[in-house]
């Protein structure tokens, strides 16, 4: 079966490696354009295996699609794709196309599915391999797998510990089902479907008026990217390595109530937010205790929602 792989980064690399280990015929790889001297890892892996690489700036160019047609793919696999790809790329291969998405579709369609599952306080999430149809994470479902979200899980821990390795295996399982003629196409229900915007600074600002759990969910949902943030002395400070301490305080939410060797704690409605690491605007990520010592952060200082 002639396979075209469209993807990027470490996930795309691992899917490519697994396909080749299974002696699948990968006839071409599509990766993002180079950024100066910085090459996408998927491109590097494909070049090392002497697989033809395409890096279109847009998939809406007729010549780009014509070159794709000449590859005569039986199946196209989308492994971590952020570009907008027209439906004709999914309709042309004889077996169609499959796409990996890190949520239990139709929940959390969009580019930041893992972030939003945690921000929304869900106790479970998962992955979906589906047949894309040109919509935003729409199309029939081939298979799904669930993952429990622990009370202290972050977007990073859920992805790297669970959804990344499970996703690679799910893509290979899907290929096997397609080859055996046993791959289902279950329509996605529209009832209960959700779509959220990218988890950027537009949603990462901490509202100290919200409950302790809501604040904590935002912090861990934005960890490692983009980093939930608040302002101290006019500077945007991002929080990582958070922990919710079930110890009430009468201090106004946003007030620093403890500074120690493990970081600092901030009053929230009904508890305390313990912060392990921070990233100021003017520096990289550092231990919260080192930041407090260097900058003079002390008990009684307030984080605010605006600069």
Query: Quick one: which of 32, 26, 18, 33 has its CA closest to 1?
Result: 26
Structure letter (DSSP) for residue 163: I
Q: Which residue has the tokens 């390595």?
A: 241
**The last residue of a domain, from among 157, 179, 201:** 179
How many domains in the chain? 2
Helix (H) or strand (E) holding 66: helix 62-70
Other CB atoms within 10 A of residue 16 CB: 25
Q: Give yes or no: residues 133 and 236 share one domain.
A: no
Long-range contacts of 28-31 (CB under 8 A, 24+ apart): 28/4, 28/52, 28/53, 28/54, 28/71, 28/73, 29/4, 29/5, 29/53, 29/54, 30/4, 30/5, 30/6, 30/54, 30/55, 30/56, 31/7, 31/55
pLDDT at 36 over 90: no
In the chain, the percentage of residues whose pLDDT exceeds 90 is 97
Q: What is the pLDDT of residue 282?
A: 87
Q: What is the mean pLDDT of the chain?
A: 97
**Is 217 a member of any domain?**
yes
**Do 113 and 241 fall into the same domain?**
no
Token duo for residue 54: 């395409």
Q: Model confidence over 40-89: pLDDT tens digits?
A: 999 999 999 999 999 999 999 999 999 999 999 999 999 999 999 999 99
What digits encode the pLDDT tens for the residues 86-115?
999 999 999 999 999 999 999 999 999 999
The encoded tokens of residue 64 equal 């780009």
**Is residue 277 pLDDT above 90, yes or no?**
yes
Each residue's pLDDT tens digit, 116-144: 999 999 999 999 999 999 999 999 999 99
CATH of the domain at 217: 3.10.25.10
Residue 229 pLDDT:
98
pLDDT at 297: 98
Q: Are residues 95 and 225 in the same domain?
A: no
Provide the residue range defining the domain that includes 273: 212-295
Q: Based on the fold, state whether residues 83 and 154 are members of the same structural domain.
A: yes
Same domain, 225 and 144: no
Is the confidence at residue 23, as pLDDT, over 90? Answer: yes
**Mean pLDDT along residues 149-169:** 98
CA-only gyration radius of the chain, Å: 22
Inform me whether the pLDDT recorded for 37 exceeds 90.
Answer: no
Does 148 share its domain with 242?
A: no
Q: Is residue 194 part of a domain?
A: no
Q: Which of 179, 203, 220 is the last residue of a domain?
A: 179
pLDDT higher than threshold 90 for residue 147: yes
pLDDT at 307 over 90: no
């Amino acid at each position: 079966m002639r396979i075209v792989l469209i993807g990027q980064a470490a996930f795309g690399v691992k899917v490519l490696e697994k396909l080749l280990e299974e002696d699948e015929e990968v006839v071409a790889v599509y990766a993002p354009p180079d950024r100066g001297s910085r090459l996408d890892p998927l491109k590097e892996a494909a070049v090392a295996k002497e697989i033809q690489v395409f890096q279109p700036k847009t998939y809406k160019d007729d010549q780009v699609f014509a070159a794709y047609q000449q590859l005569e793919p039986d199946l196209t696999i989308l492994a971590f794709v952020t570009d907008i790809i027209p439906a004709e790329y999914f309709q042309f291969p004889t077996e169609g196309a499959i796409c990996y998405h890190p949520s239990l579709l139709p929940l959390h369609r969009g580019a930041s599915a893992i972030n939003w599952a945690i921000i929304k306080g869900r106790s479970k999430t998962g992955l979906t391999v589906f047949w894309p149809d040109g919509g935003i994470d729409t199309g029939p479902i081939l298979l799904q797998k669930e993952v429990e979200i622990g009370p202290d899980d972050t977007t990073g821990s859920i992805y790297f510990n669970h959804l990344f390795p499970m996703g690679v295996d799910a893509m290979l399982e899907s290929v096997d089902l397609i080859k055996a003629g046993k791959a289902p196409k279950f329509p996605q229900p529209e009832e209960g479907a959700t779509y959220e915007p990218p988890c950027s600074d537009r949603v990462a600002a901490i509202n100290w008026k919200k409950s302790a759990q809501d604040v904590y969910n935002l912090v861990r949902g934005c960890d490692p990217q983009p980093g939930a943030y608040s302002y101290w002395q006019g500077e945007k400070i991002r929080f990582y390595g958070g922990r919710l301490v079930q110890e009430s305080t009468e201090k106004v939410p946003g007030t620093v109530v403890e500074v120690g060797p493990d970081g600092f704690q901030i009053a929230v409605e009904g508890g305390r937010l313990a912060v392990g690491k921070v990233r100021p605007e003017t520096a990289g990520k550092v231990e919260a205790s080192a930041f407090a010592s260097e900058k003079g952060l002390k008990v009684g200082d307030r984080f605010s929602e605006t600069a």
